[in-house]
Structures are given as C-alpha cells and as structure tokens.
Amino acid sequence: MIATKSNLLTPLTEEQVAQFHKDGYILIKKGCSPDLIDAYNGHIYDIRNQDPMPQWAACEESKKYTLRLFNPHKHDSFSRQMMKLPVIRGTLAQLMGREASCVQSMYFYKEPGSPGQASHQDYYYIKNDPMTMIAAWTALEDKVDEENGCLWVIPGSHDLGLLPHGAVTNLEEHESWTDETQGADLSKNIPVIMEKGDILFFHELLIHSSNKNRSQDRWRRSYVCHYIREDAVVTLREDLREKYPLY
Ligand SMILES: O=C(O)CCC(=O)C(=O)O
C-alpha cells in the first residue's frame, strides 16, 4: 500500500494489521519521500566528513563510510526526525495499540563487498517487557535487492518463540561478531525487494537476515530503528534504556 498525506497517522487497513500479525511483517511502499531520503543520506555523509568527526560518530578514517553507524537518533536531530516520521508513528501505534518509543537506531552503509547479518531474532539482542518491539527498516537506495544485500525474512517465524542462537556458520556471507538462529528452516527465507522510501515493519521474533553486498558499485544504505510500546521497558541492555517518544 502507498502512504498518502491523509492517512499518515493510520496508514494500515485492518487487513494489513491482520497480515502483520500473521506473517510477522508488513511493507509500506513509499512511506518516505525520495527527496527527504537524499537529504538524509547527504547529512549522514557530512557528519563523518567533518574534521574532527564528532565524538559520538568517531571511527577510524578508513571505516568512515562502512558497515553501520550506531544510535544516531541519540545525537543528531535529523536522525530523530527520521525516527519519528508520522507514517512510522502511525503504523506503530496501529500495530501496538498504543504510541511507541524508540530505543535503538542504526544507519547501515553496507558498501559493495561488505558482509550481511546472519539469521536472528531481534528479541535475542534487545529483551523488553512486555514484549512489544517492532523494527522499522527504511530503504535509502533506489533499489535494494538480492545483489546488494537486501533483507530476507521467514514469514510466520515470529510464532516459533525465541530460538537458541549460536556462532555464525557462514563467515563468507555474514558478520562474525553477531550470533545466528539455530534450528530455523532457511529454505523458507524470502527476499524483501525494496525501493527508496519503502519501510518494512517487522516483529521482534521474526527470523531475518541479510547477505553480503555482491554488487560492484551499489551501496545498500538503510535506516533501521527499533521501537517498544511507550509503557514497555528494555530490561537487560543498560545502553538502550532511554526511550525517545515519537511526538
Ligand atoms: O539490514 C541488515 O542487513 C540487518 C538488519 C537487522 O537485522 C536488524 O536491524 O535487526
């Protein structure tokens, strides 16, 4: 479905809410305008193009535009605005039955040749109570597909509960420092092909992953934020306790 101005705060139909609960995810096409995304990509580039880089974004010179930038929403007002786009706020409120708060953000550069993330469930990394977490994954490239390392999901896998996670098995494809879901039927994985401005919402127990960016020259930038219901709390991660409202 396409978000229009009139339905930004209630973008989903009842069928789509039901589809999210059945599949564990829902894709909103053109949730964010391409102009805004171009401006945001330029802004993120400028952050690390400063000399010196701001303390919160500092990294080795050679890694300036690689992999991911953690929690820009905590330090950067443009990232906070992108975190609380009306269409995101509205979708989350419909899915959670109440307003959401943001607890984590990541800007992925995922440059050509860079690895993806092995299959996992987000709840494994971010325990929250009551369990209400949903991610919003915004595509920041004209095309995000199998070649440049799109997201893959196993529809309905959020109904399996939390599965054990262990060491990553395919280091050619995936980052080594994360953990991988064990016992999942990976033959059920499907790619989520997206265009600039599309936003994928997915449940904290949905098994998802991404592969290496195998393209020659196509980046796979994306902005991913994790939200919990406004009355919920992150329980174990001290670093993600702070909640950022969407209004
Ligand atoms: O975008 C990716 O490659 C992985 C993102 C992801 O798994 C997540 O945000 O939980």
Model pLDDT, residue 9 = 78
Which residues 6+ apart lie within 8 Å of 34 measured at CB? 196, 197
Is any ligand 1 atom within 6 A of the Cβ of residue 222?
Answer: yes
Average pLDDT over residues 105-124: 97
Task: Compute the distance from residue 32 Cα to the ligand 1 centre, in Å.
Answer: 19
Residue 151 Cβ < 6 Å to ligand 1: yes
Q: Is the pLDDT of residue 36 over 70?
A: yes
- pLDDT average, residue stretch 49-72: 94
**Ligand 1: centre distance to CA 243 (Å):** 20
Q: Is the pLDDT of residue 3 over 70?
A: no
Task: Using pLDDT thresholds of 50, 70 and 90, give the confidence band for residue 4.
Answer: low
Contact 4, 10 (CB under 8 A): no
User: What percent of the chain shows pLDDT beyond 70?
Assistant: 97
Residue 210 Cβ inside 6 Å of ligand 1? The answer reads yes
What's residue 7's pLDDT? 65
Nearest CA to ligand 1 atom 2: 210
DSSP letters of the chain?
-B--GGGTTS---HHHHHHHHHHSEEEEBT-S-HHHHHHHHHHHHHHHHSSSPPGGG---GGGTTSSEEE-GGGT-HHHHHHHT-HHHHHHHHHHHSS-EEEEEEEEE---TT--B--SB-HHHHS-EES---EEEEEE-SSEE-TTTT-EEE-TTGGGG-PPPEEE-S-TTTB-TTSEEESS--GGG-EEE-EETT-EEEEETT--EEE-----SS----EEEEEEEETT-EE-S-GGG---EE--
| Residue to substitute in 71, 102, 106, 206 for testing ligand 1 pocket (most ligand atoms within 8 angstroms of CB) | 106
Instruction: Give residue 92's pLDDT.
Output: 97
Global confidence as pTM: 0.96
Mean pLDDT of 214-232: 97
User: Ligand 1 mean position to 152 CA, how many Å?
Assistant: 9
pLDDT value, residue 76: 98
Residue to mutate, 151, 152, 198, ligand 1, most ligand atoms under 8 Å from C-beta? 151
Q: How sure is the predictor about 67, in pLDDT bands with cuts at 50, 70 and 90?
A: confident
Cα-to-centroid distance, 6 and ligand 1 (Å) = 30
Q: Which domains does the chain have, with CATH numbers?
A: 24-49+64-245 (2.60.120.620)
Contact 100, 230 (CB under 8 A): yes
What was the pLDDT predicted at 6? 56
* pLDDT confidence bin for 132, thresholds 50/70/90: very high
